[in-house]
Chain A
Amino acid sequence: GAGVSQSPRYKVAKRGQDVALRCDPISGHVSLFWYQQALGQGPEFLTYFQNEAQLDKSGLPSDRFFAERPEGSVSTLKIQRTQQEDSAVYLCASSPDRGSLPSGANVLTFGAGSRLTVL
């Protein structure tokens, strides 16, 4: 597609519910990142995929967070047993190159984000 698409744009969950956030990256993009952005803060790294391989999940806050990209395109971020501190905007970004290359073309394109509110 023309850009990175995320759904749902807004999600309200009761504490303890499970949620799933979807990311459709730009077609053909190798690298996919998930970031968490709290109100008034910059995006914080969660996890990184190169094609279908999850190469880094060091930013996931707890074992309640899980991400997958089974066919190397669409990715899903799942949060189990949501807590109020999980309330944030979850941003997905993709780039055409493998992340390790210091390439001028290796620019992250972000989606509009999914705003999660946990009551």
Chain B
Amino acid sequence: EDQVTQSPEALRLQEGESSSLNCSYTVSGLRGLFWYRQDPGKGPEFLFTLYSAGEEKEKERLKATLTKKESFLHITAPKPEDSATYLCAVRGDYKLSFGAGTTVTVRA
């Protein structure tokens, strides 16, 4: 069974204070590692897909990286609008298996 563990559960940052979120996974035959952002009362919003170890993707202040056992989401110089829950998920066959998420709060 595919397993995804995210840490920390919560992260409080000062505006401009860079940090990283961790996603550890076990899956038989990775067909993609996904990062989603979820705001309160909304559904998850797609950020990135990574397929192979060493791959990196960037979007504004976010950068996702992938190794054979984990993925990191780096937030550089965050702003209050980056406050959200960040979900990591893996696809082994056709469905996504999600972690519990990391809730990021960025204070001005």
Contact = CB atoms under 8 A, between A and B. Distances in A.
Contact of A41 (B42, B45, B93, B100): B100
B95 A102 contact: no
Contact of B43 (A42, A44, A55, A112): A112
A48 B44 contact: no
A interface majority secondary structure: loop
B96 interface: yes
Interface string A33-69: 1010000111111001000000110000000000000
Contacts, number: 61
Range, interface on chain A? 20 to 34
Given A4-B43, A102-B31, A45 B97 contact: yes
A38 to B, nearest CB: 10
A40 to B, nearest CB: 7
Interface string A84-117: 0000000101000011101010111111110000
Contacts of A98: 94
A99 B32 CA distance: 12
Interface of B: 4, 6, 31-32, 34, 36, 41-46, 49, 51, 87, 89, 91, 93-101
Given A41-B100, A104-B49, 19 more contacts: A31-B94, A40-B100, A42-B87, A42-B98, A42-B99, A43-B44, A43-B87, A43-B96, A45-B97, A48-B94, A93-B43, A100-B93, A102-B31, A102-B91, A107-B46, A108-B46, A109-B46, A110-B36, A112-B41
